[in-house]
């Protein structure tokens, strides 16, 4: 079977052109080059292909240098696993030396050795990913090579592992199974499901950074909550850490956070906040964070999500119950990481849901009509007073006490004890204990 048309329809013209050009360089080198993996699978499924992987039955370093020498592209990375990355135009291509591999123990990285195409396909995870396409120029260009009947499983929409020890060799394949099954709508072959149940516990031997990377890949999926549902059903989440759990509420929260997230808010932080909020036994959040080696923004979102219900969430409910002005709610939520607010809004009900939604969609972005330059032109001295005035002006706008720049100018005159006729006169700063710090803010800070 020739998949030239399938591939041409699945990739951009630039990727198709670069693939043909790299194949010409490989032909000059004199060793076979093959298209492999997801690009073959998705071309046959009629899905868009954005990433292309090659297997080269020869010296990858030599091929990479020839690509550079030809002016076609440049090598941007290589590794001890006999691989290289080539950048051609705006696209990056992974090229691996045809190889076999073995695992000294569960959780270990593979020991690789050079092999032929058959050995390379046999080391892969699932039959639908173990197909290749010849890139040798001529009549055989784009001919499908399918020794493990991946095309049959593709047509039957079945995900089938290659051998019983697959998940013992590399337990991260459990995550891959969940991602593919969710994304492609495939069912898992019964034997493969049995092997997952038998060896999924080897996830406890995977390093923290590799595990975290698997979760990061879940976040790239169209519906990560469905991936996590499968992982939970297979016992994989508790294999990662005993404190991980999954519920219907968690799936709902992930789904709503995913669809409601504003484009200016980091996606991954929203998901980690939702994980902390819904998917962790409270007493062992530290344990899971350490198990995944969470860092920086992800760790902060995770822990803030964990503490939402007992800290900001409870304070929000108290404020709403007391009938406060909108600005007091805004002041509270301004102190919370925005991804946490979004994750909380996804599952909130009643007044908290309305308050959170209004904050996310409108009030967090509300600023005074005037800016610092306007205040300086009015005669306000540069310094802390400018910031104090702008914060108070924002409060009055949020609470509907000012609706125009003119309103705000009048308020500035009032607060600085000046009349409207300020031209040529120096405005006096109010005393340090002036009313610039609203009593509402003071009351809230003591809550």
Show Cβ contacts of residue 173 under 8 Å, excluding neighbours closer than 6 positions: 125, 161, 166, 167
**Do residues 235 and 197 lie in contact, with contact meaning Cβ atoms separated by under 8 Å?**
yes
Q: b or e along 347-385 (b: 16 or more beta carbons within 10 Å of the residue's beta carbon)?
A: bbeeebeebbbbbbeebeeeebbbeeebbeebbbeeeeb
List the one residue out of 128, 120, 123 whose CA is nearest residue 47.
128
Helix (H, G, I), strand (E, B) or coil at 188: strand
Predicted confidence pLDDT, tens digits, the chain (447 residues)? 899 999 999 999 999 999 999 999 999 999 999 999 999 999 999 999 988 999 999 888 889 889 988 888 888 776 666 788 888 888 889 998 898 888 888 877 878 888 899 999 999 999 999 999 999 988 889 999 999 999 999 999 999 999 999 999 999 999 999 999 999 999 999 999 999 999 999 999 999 999 999 999 999 999 999 999 999 999 999 999 998 988 888 898 899 999 989 988 999 999 999 999 988 776 788 899 999 999 889 999 999 999 998 899 999 999 999 988 999 999 999 999 999 999 999 989 999 999 999 999 999 999 999 999 999 999 888 889 999 999 999 999 999 999 999 999 999 988 887 534 444 344 443 333 333 333 333 333 333
Which of the 8 DSSP states describes residue 381? P
Architecture of domain 4-156: 2-Layer Sandwich (3.30)
List the one residue out of 337, 331, 410 whose CA is nearest residue 378.
410
Helix (H, G, I), strand (E, B) or coil at 212: helix
Show Cβ contacts of residue 80 under 8 Å, excluding neighbours closer than 6 positions: none
Euclidean distance between CA atoms 88 and 15, whole angstroms: 9
pLDDT for 438: 33
pLDDT for 81: 63
**Do residues 121 and 162 lie in contact, with contact meaning Cβ atoms separated by under 8 Å?**
no
List the one residue out of 249, 243, 227, 174 whose CA is nearest residue 205.
174
pLDDT for 440: 36
H/E segment holding residue 133: strand 132-134
Show Cβ contacts of residue 410 under 8 Å, excluding neighbours closer than 6 positions: 420
**Do residues 255 and 223 lie in contact, with contact meaning Cβ atoms separated by under 8 Å?**
yes
> The tokens 């000059």 sit on which residue?
28
Show Cβ contacts of residue 357 under 8 Å, excluding neighbours closer than 6 positions: 345
pLDDT for 282: 66
Query: Strand 99-102 and strand 111-114: pairing?
Result: antiparallel
Contacts 24+ apart (CB under 8 A), 356-365: 356/316, 358/326, 359/329, 359/330, 359/333, 360/260, 360/262, 361/262, 363/326, 363/329, 363/330, 363/398, 364/330, 364/333, 364/334, 364/338
In the chain, where does the domain assigned CATH 3.30.460.10 lie? 4-156
pLDDT for 80: 65
Euclidean distance between CA atoms 299 and 292, whole angstroms: 10
Euclidean distance between CA atoms 145 and 265, whole angstroms: 44
């Amino acid at each position: 079977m020739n998949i030239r048309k399938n591939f041409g329809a699945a990739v951009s013209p630039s990727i198709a052109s670069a693939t043909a050009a790299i194949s010409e360089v490989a032909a000059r080198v004199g060793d076979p080059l093959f298209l492999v993996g997801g690009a073959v699978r998705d071309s046959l499924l009629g899905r868009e292909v954005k990433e292309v992987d090659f297997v080269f039955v020869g010296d990858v370093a030599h091929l990479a240098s020839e690509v550079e020498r030809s002016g076609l592209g440049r090598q941007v990375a290589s590794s001890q696993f006999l691989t290289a990355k080539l950048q051609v135009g705006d696209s990056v291509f992974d090229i691996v030396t045809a190889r076999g591999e073995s695992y000294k123990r569960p959780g270990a990285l593979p020991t690789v050795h050079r092999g032929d195409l058959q050995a390379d396909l046999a080391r892969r995870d699932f039959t639908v990913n173990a197909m290749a396409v010849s890139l040798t120029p001529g009549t055989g260009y784009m001919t499908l090579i399918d020794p493990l009947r991946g095309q049959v499983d593709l047509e039957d929409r079945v995900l089938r592992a290659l051998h019983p020890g697959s998940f013992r060799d590399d337990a991260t394949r459990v995550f891959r199974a969940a991602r593919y099954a969710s994304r492609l709508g495939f069912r898992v072959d019964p034997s493969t499901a049995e092997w997952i149940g038998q060896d999924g516990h080897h996830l406890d031997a995977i390093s923290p950074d590799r595990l975290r990377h698997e979760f990061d890949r879940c976040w790239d999926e169209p519906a990560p909550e469905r991936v996590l549902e499968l992982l939970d059903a297979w016992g994989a989440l508790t294999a990662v850490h005993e404190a991980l759990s999954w519920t219907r509420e968690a799936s709902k929260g992930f789904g709503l956070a995913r669809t409601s997230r504003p484009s200016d808010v980091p996606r991954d932080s929203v998901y980690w906040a939702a994980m902390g909020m819904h998917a962790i036994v409270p007493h062992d959040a530290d344990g899971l964070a350490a198990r995944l080696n969470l860092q920086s923004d992800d760790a902060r979102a995770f822990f803030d999500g964990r503490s939402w219900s007992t800290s900001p969430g409870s304070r929000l409910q108290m404020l709403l119950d007391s009938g406060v002005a909108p600005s007091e709610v805004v002041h509270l939520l301004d102190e919370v990481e925005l991804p946490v607010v979004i994750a909380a809004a996804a599952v909130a009900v009643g007044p908290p849901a309305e308050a959170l939604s209004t904050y996310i969609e409108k009030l967090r972005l509300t600023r005074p009509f005037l800016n610092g330059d306007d205040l300086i032109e009015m005669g306000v001295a540069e310094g802390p007073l400018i910031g104090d005035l702008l914060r108070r002006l924002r409060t009055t706008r949020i609470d509907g006490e000012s609706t125009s720049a003119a309103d705000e100018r009048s308020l500035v005159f009032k607060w600085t004890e000046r009349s409207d006729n300020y031209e040529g006169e120096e405005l006096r700063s109010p005393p340090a204990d002036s009313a610039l710090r609203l009593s509402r803010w003071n009351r809230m800070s003591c809550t």
